[in-house]
A and B are shown apart, each in its own frame.
Chain A
Amino acid sequence: MSDIILEARNLTKSFGGFVAVNDVNLRIERGSIHAIIGPNGAGKTTMFNLLTKFHTPTSGSIRFNDTDITNRKPAEIANMGIVRSFQISAVFPHLTALENVRLALQRGLGVSYHFWRSQKMLSDLDAQAVARLDQVGLKSYAHTRAVELPYGRKRALEIATTLGLEPELMLLDEPTQGMGTEDVGAVTELISRVREGRTIVMVEHNLGVVAELADTITVLARGEVLAEGPYSEVSRNPQVMEAYMGVSAEEQEEEA
């Protein structure tokens, strides 16, 4: 296997006449944390949805571990080891933290269509689920319903659930969005703790987080790659600085 886990070639996505992502090439190195940043409307979220197959590209191709996944469905790529998170915390609100994580673990049992069996068989997974919760500091909340958890902990629960799938590649959509400074620190630390043995792609607004975590940064602007490289390099790029200073109104519309 090559050192490139995920590769996008000439990826383009247009909505009607609007080209959100234009001829983007992206190579994600195995084991790295790769951040995609850019001003509002740069096409980050579209790019993210393309990589996770929630959108189908207008043209171009995506390869994961040298397999073409351009036309695969989201559930299929999840089974291949690519798992995404969402901008708004993605938990199952009326299930307990334990049940949330167990839903990820349950897939391995291959009994998910067995409507005639008791869910008591799932309690075999409890110990494993609690271990996952412990990993993100939520052990004592195992029986709390997700809806009752504070925001920062919901995100931690989401990460614990994602880890339950043992993903090779994790895609995090703005993991620290809408958080206070303290929670941002906690989540940053959490990500650096779980990165071992995985590759992480993240879309992130918070440059502090990006600077601390990311090995490589791709800067998008107007749907195209503006710059790529480590933080120290990218942050000194005059084009990047300009893109971050001036954001026009019509570009913000795409984000909505």
Chain B
Amino acid sequence: MSDVTETTANSQSGIAEFEEGLGDPVLRRRARIWQGIFWVAMLGFLAAAPFFLYPVFVMQLLCFALFAAAFNLLIGFTGLLSFGHAAFFGGAAYIAGHVLKVWGFPPILGILTGTLFAAALGWLVGSLAIRRQGIYFAMITLALAQIVYFFALQMPFTGGEDGLQGIPRGHLLGIFNLNDPLAMYYFVAAVFLVGFLVIYRIIHSPFGQVLQAIRENEPRALSLGYNVDRFKLLAFVLSAALAGLAGSTKALVFQFASLTDAHWQMSGEVILMTLLGGMGTIFGPVVGAFIVVALQHALSGIGSWVQVVIGGTFIACVLLFRRGVVGELARLLRINSL
């Protein structure tokens, strides 16, 4: 309404300048400071965690955090809801496990193989799914992920119901024995950090800008001359590859790949983590993954009731703070991105 009066006063000069930009430099500086605080906290945690927490637990946290961050690249920054990300996570875990165990690949090469497999699978799934939008997109990804699950169950090399067991951790670069928990931990921390930095860069790249434009207003992005489908496909492949990186690493940590990793519930869990933490935020998926994994551990004594508690947490989150933990924090601090 105030706009009308403003414009009346300035109607001679068209849509005239009126007030100064809304104190923006202050807000930007504040955003930078808070992002800095989160970076320091995260790096501090990564460095110190194994000294006061059980390393395998932290490694599990990091694998899921990376998985959720990869998923967030799609839902939070491109606006695509994939309901089949378990296929990339679990599929990569099986492939990495196989090449490590049977073909005797060194750890890094094994993880890379799993990641590349997930990228290729992502290209296949993505090129089919992006032909449709919204719920249909999600359903296509779910259906294709179920096919992958079926392969994981039936293929001879996967071990069926038993999973692929006894994956060797091996020696990193032939030097560091990864059976040493601390060496393994810092390797996983490094993988997480690299993956997270890659995602951070993608978000803050010229490509990331276009992705956000597509999320915000797809027809407009199209009318500006962007080939929306190609951008979506590339985003899908990148997200799938990073989910595969997380899955391969998890296979190395636990030394086995199981059907749970490829099950549709895993696809649901990663959505949950991302929403809890705050989709479209930088640190949200990490926080969300920590909350979910920590809850699962803390409540493991109550058996399948864990699902009820997590479900309840999810409902409370959606009803009370829809932007997720980090999203709400960013709002309280009045900053755009955290």
Contact = CB atoms under 8 A, between A and B. Distances in A.
Nearest to A111: B206
A99 B209 contact: yes
B11 A106 contact: no
A138 B224 contact: no
Interface string A90-127: 11111100010011101101011111111101100000
Given A95-B212, A102-B209, A137-B13, A186 B225 contact: no
Q: Which of B21, B230, B234 has the most CB of A within 10 A?
A: B21
B131 interface: no
Interface in A159-211: 161, 165, 180, 182-183, 185-187, 189-190, 193
Contact of A143 (B16, B21, B202, B238): B21
A119 B204 contact: yes
A145 B336 contact: yes
A84 interface: yes
A115 B15 contact: no
Contact of B224 (A104, A114, A115, A145): A104
A93 B280 CA distance: 14
B270 interface: no
Contacts of A165: 224-225
B38 interface: no
Interface stretch (A1-9, A71-79, A243-251): A71-79
Nearest to A142: B21
A115 B201 contact: yes
B223 A186 contact: no
Give the secondary structure class of B's interface. Answer: helix
B210 interface: yes
A140 interface: yes
B2 interface: yes
Interface residues of A, number: 61
A57 to B, nearest CB: 18
B227 interface: yes
Interface string B213-242: 100110111111111101100100010000
Given A106-B210, A152-B15, A186-B15, A115 B7 contact: no
B201 A189 contact: no
A178 to B, nearest CB: 12
A26 B216 CA distance: 34
A47 interface: no
B226 A75 contact: yes
Interface in B264-310: none
A142 to B, nearest CB: 6
B238 A90 contact: no
A27 interface: no
B222 A106 contact: no
Interface string B3-15: 1101110110111
A156 B17 CA distance: 12
Contacts of A90: 217, 219-220, 223
Contacts of A182: 4, 7-8, 11
A107 B208 contact: no
A107 B336 contact: no
Given A102-B209, A113-B207, A84 B223 contact: yes
B227 A136 contact: no
26 contacts: A74-B222, A75-B225, A75-B226, A78-B222, A85-B223, A90-B219, A94-B212, A94-B216, A102-B209, A103-B221, A107-B224, A112-B209, A112-B210, A115-B202, A116-B201, A119-B208, A119-B209, A136-B14, A137-B16, A153-B3, A165-B225, A182-B7, A183-B7, A186-B7, A186-B15, A190-B15
Interface of B: 2-4, 6-8, 10-11, 13-22, 24, 28, 201-202, 204-210, 212-213, 216-217, 219-228, 230-231, 234, 238, 336
The 4 closest A-B pairs by CB, nearest first: A150-B3, A78-B225, A143-B24, A115-B207
Interface of A: 52, 54, 74-75, 78-79, 83-86, 90-95, 99, 102-104, 106-107, 109, 111-119, 121-122, 136-145, 148, 150-153, 156, 161, 165, 180, 182-183, 185-187, 189-190, 193
